[in-house]
Amino acid sequence: MKNKTVLITGASSGIGLHFSHKFAQAGHNVVLVARSEDKLLSLATELEGNYNIKAHVIKADLAEMGASRVIYEQVTSNDIEVDILINNAGFGLFGEFEQTEIEKEVEMIQVNITALTELSKYFGKEMVNRKNGQILNVASTAAFQPGPLMAVYYATKAYVLSLSEALANEWEEHGVQVMALCPGATKTGFSDTAQLQESKLFQSGVMTVEEVVEEAYKQMAHQKKAVIIPGFKNRMLAGSIRFMPRKMVTKIVRKVQERI
């Protein structure tokens, strides 16, 4: 991979921040998208200074309808051609469904599903026309089963996995590779946002962003897998639950999700 332009949503922290460093370090230009403009601007200065690449900042709230179109128009009006799209921005929410705020959940669906779908469409169409490109959609190991106490989040990630695998199939013949990255619990700001700090899941060994991004980056270069699951334990879990009754898996997930 040489001298490409990579658009990364959720570049201001966690997995997206590390992807930004990783691609810039490898000599690629980056388009950094998130709400925290100050963080993005100082990241852009750091990346341009350290790696001699171009970093373009787009402040956007992906929970707002139409934000993806604005991002696409800003990119094209700056004559930027996106070779790699990393749909990473996303968040979760812990709680029993009758108690969680519907406004937050609608926002989550907008960010995790709608914006990801729109950006895949806008940039993916151009990639198909050019017969070249990669899209990495950040799903989660949550995508493989229902998730009581985080029901909406798990459902959004199941959508991301399903969409990505279908597009991978459709666009393979057009030279565009679509992948779903499915990390398990990873040390980022995610657990604070989702109020998961005390859940058993996050108390029982999490991966680092470096490990997750390293694995994703390696697999993107190999261009073979449509589904990337970082970590041996996560791969084993995702594989084994396919053979277990769905109701039993759902009960186990609830136990793991519960607070200590």
Question: What separation, in Å, do the N-terminal and C-terminal C-alpha atoms of the chain show?
Answer: 44
Q: Which of 31, 44, 55, 138 binds ligand NAP (CB under 6 A)?
A: 138
Per-residue string for binding with ligand NAP, 186-205, x by CB under 6 A?
x-xxx--x------------
Cβ closest to ligand NAP, residue 34 vs residue 79? 34
Please state, in angstroms and as integers, the Cα–Cα distance from residue 167 to each residue in 19, 173, 201, 237, following that order: 22, 11, 30, 25
Candidate segments 34-42, 161-169, 227-235, 242-250, binder of ligand NAP by CB under 6 A: 34-42
Closest to 216 (Cα-Cα) out of 150, 134, 148: 134
CA dihedral 225, 215, 157, 153 (to 10 degrees): 170
Q: Which of 7, 16, 199, 216 binds ligand NAP (CB under 6 A)?
A: 16
CB of 61 to ligand NAP, least distance (A): 5
CA dihedral 144, 145, 146, 148 (to 10 degrees): -110
Residue closest to ligand NAP (Cβ): 14
8-state DSSP, 40: H
Per-residue string for binding with ligand NAP, 50-69, x by CB under 6 A?
----------xxxx------
23 binds ligand NAP (CB under 6 A): no
15 binds ligand NAP (CB under 6 A): yes
CA dihedral 164, 170, 174, 175 (to 10 degrees): 40
Candidate segments 7-15, 43-51, 213-221, 229-237, binder of ligand NAP by CB under 6 A: 7-15
Residues labelled catalytic: 153, 157
Which ranges of 173-240 does DSSP label H, i.e. alpha helix?
190-193, 200-203, 209-222, 232-240
Window 78 to 117, contacts with ligand NAP (CB under 6 A): 88-92, 111
164 binds ligand NAP (CB under 6 A): no
